[in-house]
Amino acid sequence: MKNLFYILAFAALLSAADAAAAENVSVTCKQRWPWNGKVDIDYTLPPSSETSPVYSVKFYGKDENGQFPLVSLEGEGACGIVLSSGSKRVTWDSSVDRPGTNAGDFKIGAAVEDITSKARYLYYSIEHKTMTPSLTPPDVSIQDVKTKMIWFRRIEPATFVMGSQESETGHFDNKNNEAQHSVTLTKAFYLSIFEVTQGQFVRLTGENPSMIGRVSAEALGNADNSIPVNGVSYAALRGADFGASWPNETDYRVDQDSYLGKIRKHARNGFVFDIPTEAQWECACRAGTETTFNDGSDWLNDTNTVQNSDLDRLGWYRSNANGALHSVGQKLPNNYFLFDMHGNVWEWCLDNYAVDNTSYTLDPAGPANGNGNRMVRGGAYDEWAVRCRSARRMSASAKSANNNKGFRLMLTN
């Protein structure tokens, strides 16, 4: 589905004639009073046939000398992409882009396009703070993809089988945690194709809590900064106040001084960056499979739980990692082009810990309380193969910050 709309409005106030020219889209531009150079642009994106639409939104200015870009934007649409329909606001600071200009000297324009069908991937430029759609995945041999931008893969709404079959190696030891049950996710979401790397983390937050392979901001250009960030606790990632309140319906609030709070500020408030729920994580990891590993391989009734040749191709774990973390994207991806879902670092999920999760079946957010423990998934470089399976569920104290724990970013509206 593709719809293209153009909007032109006076900065002071949109006239009725201008509004009529933008079919199915309304926009109002109003200067701040007293005038401080800022213009609030309120606009409404039309309903979409998609349950999780993606819109491209581009804003520009126009005066007697022609068109010029609006760079100093904040709010939904500032990064160029919006993930839902309805009423939005973006604020432009003309005192930065056009110092000394009066409000009546320019018009503001916007082009809005429904690009859901084009947005299988989204990539975020950390340097330019912009989001761009792509139908094709990146060339993972290019270091910048792992350190200077963040690529996200769209995961469509799905019903899938969570957990493992009784004959799967490792099921018996963890059987109360891995009972198979059907789970339905009703909305699409985006997940980063890599575990967040130290290069990405430092550029987003200016900090690096890593305990292994730590790269400083000064050394970003001279060291391998595509190793996953580690030493990150759930509490530091989301915060101990708002960030600890999950689940609260769909409340994705985090503390402003948390790592995610800083990452969201970097994105100019256009997106909600977070970590996935446990169900979102397993759906993305499996990528349509119901087998032990996400390449479709099964590991059944084996008494040797420490090493597996199929896992050797997919992830870094105790039998092949040589006691070290490894740069992301070196092993085979799954069908969704997601890397390192098995091994390297445990990945934090939103949910509180529940031994039995079979009652959480529709857009599950997990139990209300987990006694201070949160879910981690995927295994790590220092774990045996049995702990790196698609179904393996583990919990950790929200305050624990170990060298084998990191995270993967989830993008929602």
What was the pLDDT predicted at 248? 79
Which distant-in-sequence residues (6+ apart) come within 8 Å of 381 by Cβ?
Answer: 316, 317, 318, 321, 323, 324, 325, 326, 343, 344, 345, 404
Rounded to an integer, what distance in angstroms lies between the CA atom of residue 44 and that of residue 36?
Answer: 25
pLDDT digits over 211-227, tens only?
A: 998 887 777 776 679 99
Q: Are residues 197 and 153 in the same domain?
A: yes
> What sign does the dihedral 252-256-259-260 (CA atoms) show?
positive
| Distance from C-alpha of 222 to C-alpha of 241, rounded to nearest angstrom | 37
The answer to whether the CB of 356 falls within 8 A of the CB of 176 is yes
Name 263's bridge partners.
none
**One domain, residues 72 and 144:** no
Q: Indicate if 274 and 221 belong to the same structural domain.
A: yes
Omega before 34 within 30 of 0, i.e. cis: yes
Q: What is the CATH number of the domain that holds 399?
A: 3.90.1580.10
Looking at the structure, do residues 91 and 135 belong to the same domain, yes or no? no
Helix or strand run (H / E) with residue 81: strand 81-82
Antiparallel, parallel or unpaired: β 189-192 and 149-155: antiparallel
Q: How many angstroms separate the CA atoms of 387 and 174, rounded?
A: 10
- Within 189-254, residue ranges assigned H as helices are 198-205, 234-238
Q: Is there a single domain that holds both residue 138 and residue 201?
A: yes
- From the CA atom positions of the chain, what is the Rg in Å? 23
The pTM (predicted TM-score) of the whole model is: 0.92
- pLDDT for the residue numbered 340: 98
Write the CATH number for 54.
Answer: 2.60.40
**Would you say the C-alpha torsion 30, 32, 36, 38 has a positive or negative sign?**
negative
Domain boundary among 94, 117, 140: 117
Q: Over its length of 413 residues, how does the chain's per-residue pLDDT go in tens digits?
A: 344 444 444 433 322 223 223 345 677 888 888 888 899 999 999 888 888 999 999 998 888 888 888 999 999 999 999 999 999 999 999 889 888 776 567 788 888 999 999 999 999 999 999 999 999 999 999 999 999 999 999 999 999 999 999 999 999 888 779 999 999 999 999 999 999 999 999 999 999 999 998 887 777 776 679 999 999 999 999 999 999 999 976 678 999 999 999 999 988 887 889 999 999 999 999 999 999 999 999 999 999 999 999 999 999 999 999 999 999 999 999 999 999 999 999 999 999 999 999 999 999 999 998 889 999 999 999 999 999 999 999 999 999 999 999 999 999 87
Q: Give the separation between CA 194 and CA 406, rounded to whole angstroms.
A: 11
Q: Residues 267-286: pLDDT tens digits?
A: 888 788 999 999 999 999 99
Tell me which of 97, 117, 137 is where a domain ends. 117
Question: Quick one: pLDDT at residue 217?
Answer: 72
Q: Which of 86, 117, 148 is the last residue of a domain?
A: 117
The Cα–Cα gap between 361 and 182 comes to: 6
Overall size of the chain counted in residues: 413
Residues 138 and 243 in one domain: yes
Predicted pLDDT of residue 60: 87
- 178 and 95 in a common domain: no
Q: Which residues span the domain enclosing 72? A: 4-117
Instruction: Answer yes or no: do 24 and 96 share one domain.
Output: yes
Write phi, then psi, for 386 (nearest 5 degrees): -60, -25
3-class DSSP state of 42: strand
Write down the mean pLDDT value for the chain: 89
